[in-house]
Structures are given as structure tokens and as C-alpha cells.
Structure 1
């Protein structure tokens, strides 16, 4: 008794692949049960389909369709093959189609997002709320910035969000989220918090700056020097959140991004003051590896960041897709 190989069995790794263009014709022949019917379905001539049937017979090792009265009938082997051929063709078609939109309501996925505490403070809670509404099965793992390598996106980081390096690896994609500016926050009951700051009054107050490496000099000092002014950096803080807390207990200004200041002032007794200097704007962006570029769930994550960031600044040129 001859046993056919199961349709689910892996092909011999050493055997050459058959002509996969024969698969649609085989499926049409097995379903139509005739050369003419299969030819009409695939919009080819009956003679061309007859030649294809000859090739299939040689490849499969079975006549597949044999004369029966005035027509043709399927051989037992052909009957046996029909479900597997249909499933194989459906799988091939699905594999070659663009990914379908993700079902957010049933999506279960964990995303590892590397970012700074400013993004976590301003966009973290809105992102959690958005995920709870749209994709309750999603879990977010926000990881702190450090001495990271953008190449980490190839392995264990799904998304980098924040101020990105100017040059990224060739296999990393990026999209601008928004351009933000810096402001100063101070305790709301401080005397200098009631009115606008001048360059002189701004320079006269002690400052709290945010740096992971303890550096006190920045573009702020360059702009003040152009006006013949200098400042006293009372303290450096490792995070924007810590800087806001420092400002609550001192007569100092903490210099933070405007979106951080807005969120902090919503829950803390802080005043938000404009910095009276012409400071450069800072671009915030997101980056991801090309392996996730077309992934529907990851596209939802990127678009979510784009939607939320638009509330703090100009919309980016790309939608993160």
C-alpha cells in the first residue's frame, strides 16, 4: 500500500522546491473537476491548462483527472489532495498579503519602551489611559534612558522615544513627534512667580538644571553671556520630576520642557514662567527597528504616541506608520 506524505510534514531540506506557480492551477483543477472549468476560472486557454495538467501529473506522480464517460473524474489521490491543496493555497495567499488591521480589543502584547522621565511624566499616563480604552490586553514596560545603543532596537527594545541621536543605524526608522520648548517652574507662592521674568531677574535667581552627568553649563549660559549676564546653578537633578520637587522647597527656578511643567503644575503648587531668552527648540521623536515597521500592533503604538504628542506641540510630518 502506498502512503502519501502528510500535508503538514516539512519538505525534504535537500529536495528542490517544485514550481509553486502550479499550485493555483492544481487547486482549480481539483475543484472544477475539468480542464475547461479550471481554464475558465484562471482565464487561460483549455490547451494551456491541458499542458499544465500534464506537468502536474509528472510532479505529483498521479494522473489526477482521468476520462469517465463524456467527462473527467478525480482519482483517489486527487480526492485525497483537495483539502491540503486548498489550505496550502490559502496560506500562501495570506502570507503574501499585507498584514490585516489588528483587533485591538483582543490584542495581547507587551511593549518595551525606552524613554526619559519627561516623556514618561507627560505622555505615560495618557498612553496608559488610551491603551486601557482601546487595547486592554496591552502591557507597557517603560524603561529608563541610560548609556543605551540605538542598536538595542534590533533585539529587546520595541520603541525609543525622546531626543534621539542625529545618526541612527540604517535599519532603524524614526518619526518626529513634536518640537518643544523649555520653561521655568517655581513654587507658586514665591514672590518672583507673580510676574514675567526679565533676563536680569531670570539670571539673578538660582537655577536647577536637569542632567544625568552633572554638567552645569548649557546653551542658557551662552545666551546669558551674550547679554553680559551669568547665573548660579544651585543644583543639578537627574530627572525632570526631581527638579520640580526641588523647586517646591527652594527659591530656585527649575528649567524643564513645557509639557513636563504643564503636567507638574496640574498636581503641584507650581507656577510656570517663560524663559526670557531665545533658546533653541528641542525635537522629540520615536524610533523603531525595521522588523516592526509593518507590524499592525506596533503601528498602533506609534500612532498612539503621535496622537498624544500632538496635544503638546505641532503635529509631526509622519504619522509614525
Structure 2
């Protein structure tokens, strides 16, 4: 039976369990002649009769009895591999999912998502990674399952959906001596600034908006993550422009105060990005829904 297909193994499993060609045919929704032909194929493949007549009933051969338990376990395992888990199976699904987002958002998302998973899918494991400094193939290679990013899908085999948009705000430490000047473009531009850039850039869309008014700012510090920027601002008189709603908890917990930007900067999108192979997977779909809901709730709460 080395080269036999799963249907033949499934038929053998049912024949052994039912010990009747007719009962096996009904269970597999086949005609009795078709089931008889299948039994013939099994006999030729195994070199064993499988079922032999004993009076008015059929009985299993020693070979059939010997392989019964192992065969049943094999068929069950094969069917579980070929059939993706349904939502009814969620509490028993054992997988590790790797999510990628900036560290400030991860600090907000991780604990809340872990609580949801503990209640609804307790055997799932979550792993958070920082955003890469440059474009990577992590999603394509399967090293990352889900990414929250300000960039949409960058290739045809990736999928993305927009979760929300968030406007930048100016954040400074509470007690900053020039907090009241941040409401004017000149006062804002006159401050020393922190720039968040994974790639180490020294300007962004805030500089473009200031230059449109004939102004320039001094970027005194460039850091790769929002969390580092928040900590730097909390211990200095620096100013940083950050997404106001998604990072509101982090900003507040570090004792910062915020003001609206005095220049017009387009709202930053937040995208959920994944590889197309996961689009129809029900568990991955459930995880996407949870992440989307938590981010939407965070955005709506501020």
C-alpha cells in the first residue's frame, strides 16, 4: 500500500471498523459495487483478504486486526493535516505566531492581545519582533506571520488592509519651558527635535511642512523607534512628533504632554500586512481580526 492514496487508506479504515462491505459503502456514500471494487484494490495492494466470511458475518483477518489501531491513527492524522482547523477547534490549536510592529505599539498591543489569546486560544503562542530597518522578505519566507506598519503590501504576493489613520502630535515632557510656544509654526520650529526613523533618516514629512512655510527645524537626535524617542523626550527639553492616538498610552505613562502640530501633515495610515498563503486560514484570520479590533479600540479611546 506504499503508493496508495488516502482514499484507499480511509476505505480500509472504515471496512475494518464496520466489518461489512454494505455498511462501509453507506458510511462512505458509495454504491455497494463500488465498495466491493475498492475492497478488491485493497486486497491486491496488501496481499491480504482483510475481511473473510464466517457464517453469516464477516470477520477480520489477523493482518487487519494487527494494523487496525495504527491505521486509524494514521488516517485521523492525515485528515487533520489536510483539513485546516475550524473556529470550533480554536481552543485546541497549537501554533506560534510572529507579529512585527514598532516597539511602542507592541507595548500597547502585546498585553491586550495576550489576554484575548489566553481566553479564546490558550494554546497559541505569540512572538513580537521589531520592524526591520529596511524592506525584508520575512513575510514571504514565513518568518513573520503578521505585520502592523505604516507601509502597505509591497509585492503582489502580500496582502494588506488599512486599519486606521492617525495624526501626528508634538510631545514634550510635562513642565517643558516652551510648551506654550508649540502652537505656532515658528515656536515649534525653534525647538530641538527628536526624529524617529528606522533607516536613520534626518528629515521627514514634518520638515517638508515646515519648509513650505519657509521654516527649518533642528533635529538634534535621530532614533530607530518611537519608544526610544519617548524616553529621550521624557528626560530632556526635546520635542518629538508622534502618532497621537495609537501611542497615547505610552506618551501618558512617561509623563509627556501633547499639543497639535502647528503645520499640516497628512495622517499616517496603519496597515495590517500578511502573505497571501494565510488569507484563507481561519486561525490566521481570527488573529488578524483581533489585532485590528485592538488597534481600532486604542485609536477610538483617545
TM-score (norm 2): 0.76
Matched residues in 2 for 1:75 and 1:261: separation?
A: 69
How does 1:1-321 map onto structure 2 within 5 Å?
17-101=3-87, 111-127=97-113, 130=116, 141-153=127-139, 154=141, 156-164=143-151, 166-168=153-155, 170=157, 172-190=158-176, 192-194=178-180, 197-212=183-198, 214-227=200-213, 229-238=214-223, 239-248=225-234, 250-259=236-245, 262-289=248-275, 301-313=287-299
Number of residue pairs matched by the alignment: 297
Matched residues in 1 for 2:114 and 2:29: separation?
A: 52
Deviation of 1:272 (Å): 0.9
Residues 216-274 of structure 1: per-residue CA shift (max 9 Å, x gap): 433223223333x3032141230333433444455543211114652244223322101
| Distance 1:203-1:128 versus aligned 2 partners, 3 A rule | same
Mapped contact 1:184–1:275 kept (Cα < 8 A): yes
Matched residues in 2 for 1:88 and 1:275: separation?
A: 63
- Which ranges in structure 1 are unaligned for 5 or more consecutive residues? 1-10, 315-321
**Corresponding residue SS for 1:230:** coil
Q: Which entry has the higher C-alpha Rg, 1 or 2?
A: 1
Residues 42-99 of structure 1: per-residue CA shift (max 9 Å, x gap): 3433333333333332222223333443454433333334334433333333233221
Mapped contact 1:209–1:216 kept (Cα < 8 A): yes
| Distance 1:235-1:135 versus aligned 2 partners, 3 A rule | farther
Mapped contact 2:134–2:199 kept (Cα < 8 A): no
Deviation of 1:211 (Å): 2.8
Matched residues in 2 for 1:205 and 1:225: separation?
A: 15
Mapped contact 2:8–2:42 kept (Cα < 8 A): yes
1:3 equivalent in structure 2: none
Matched residues in 1 for 2:53 and 2:127: separation?
A: 65
- RMSD, matched Cα: 3.7
